[in-house]
Structure 1
Amino acid sequence: MSAGLLLVTHNGIGAELLRVATGMLGGCPLRAEALAVGHDDERDDMLATARAMAALLDEGDGLLVLTDLYGSTPSNIAHSLGGQHRVRVLSGVNLPMLVRALNYAPLPLDELAAKALSGAHDGVMLCPNTNDRHDSRR
């Protein structure tokens, strides 16, 4: 068994990230869902939906929750899940974070969260500007 994965994000960000990542990998190696939180959605309704999704995804190994913006409504909903499940929440979800989590799906929850976090960090970099290398004014 492995931990479940829930993306709680603004609008369709999580669903799209999950679609792209599973397309790249040719499938999804763990139970995963995305909850889209719209600007007009009622927080309590979204929290109830998130709790129901968490209950389905967590089959005993815990739940990794990825959210987009710390302190936002989706993030607050994600943080509210901890009381009922063994949950690790990571904020600032990006594609490298998600791909790393999917690639290491069999790991225990804490190790999976650490791998996902390292994927997020390692996936953000300042890329060299190819024009700078050929700029004769330097």
Structure 2
Amino acid sequence: MSVSILLVTHNRIGHELLETARETLGFCPVQTRTLEVTPDGEPAELIERAMDLVGLLDDGDGVLVLTDCYGSTPSNVCSQLARDHRIVVIAGVNLPMLLRVFNYPGLTLPELADKARTGGRDGVILVETFHATREC
């Protein structure tokens, strides 16, 4: 048994992050699912779908729920899940966070949540080059 991962994100962000992490590592070490939140999604339906996915994923060790933007609809859906003691929600998912999580599949839910948080934070780095043009 191990902690499972649920990504609840806008559109296909979670799916793309998951696929990229799988391609990078060559495998996926834990059970993982995604829930895509589209602009026309009904919050009550999304919460129900998220709870169903948690039920499928949780084999007794809990579920780490990663969402993209705090305060948005995906995050609000996740906040309803966080009432369960076997679920930890972290907002601000990024690829370094997901890769860090996948590198520590044997940790407990609190330990894995901490790895996710630090991995996401430490993966944000200001990269400066002196010869690059800055364009947005």
TM-score, with normalisation over the residues of structure 2?
Answer: 0.93
Structure 1 contact 8–35 (Cα < 8 Å) conserved? yes
3-state DSSP class of the match of 1:33?
strand
Letter in 2 for 1:36: E
Please report how far the alpha carbon of residue 23 of structure 1 lies from its aligned counterpart in structure 2 after TM superposition: 1.1
Aligned-partner Cα distance in 1 for 2:56–2:115 = 23
Structure 1 contact 8–37 (Cα < 8 Å) conserved? yes
Structure 1 contact 58–85 (Cα < 8 Å) conserved? no
3-state DSSP class of the match of 2:82?
helix
1:81-96 counterparts in 2 under 5 A?
Answer: 81-84=81-84, 86-96=86-96
Q: Which residue of 2 aligns with 1:117?
A: 117
Letter in 1 for 2:116: A
Higher helix proportion (structure 1 or 2): 1
1:1-138 counterparts in 2 under 5 A?
Answer: 1-84=1-84, 86-131=86-131
- RMSD of aligned residue pairs (Cα, Å): 1.2
Aligned-partner Cα distance in 2 for 1:90–1:83 = 13
Specify every segment of 5 or more residues in structure 2 that has no aligned partner in the other structure, as ranges. none
What per-residue deviation string (whole Å, max 9, x for no partner) do you get for residues 48-100 of structure 1? 11000000111110110000000111001111112345111110100000000
Specify every segment of 5 or more residues in structure 1 that has no aligned partner in the other structure, as ranges. 133-138
Aligned-partner Cα distance in 1 for 2:43–2:111 = 30
Structure 1 contact 70–91 (Cα < 8 Å) conserved? yes
Please report how far the alpha carbon of residue 24 of structure 1 lies from its aligned counterpart in structure 2 after TM superposition: 0.7
Please report how far the alpha carbon of residue 128 of structure 1 lies from its aligned counterpart in structure 2 after TM superposition: 2.1
For the pair shown, the structure with the greater C-alpha radius of gyration is: 1
Aligned-partner Cα distance in 1 for 2:62–2:127 = 36
What per-residue deviation string (whole Å, max 9, x for no partner) do you get for residues 79-133 of structure 1? 111234511111010000000011111100000011111111111011121428x
User: Structure 1 residues 105, 74: CA separation in 2 closer, same or farther (over 3 Å shift)?
Assistant: same
User: Structure 1 residues 85, 31: CA separation in 2 closer, same or farther (over 3 Å shift)?
Assistant: farther
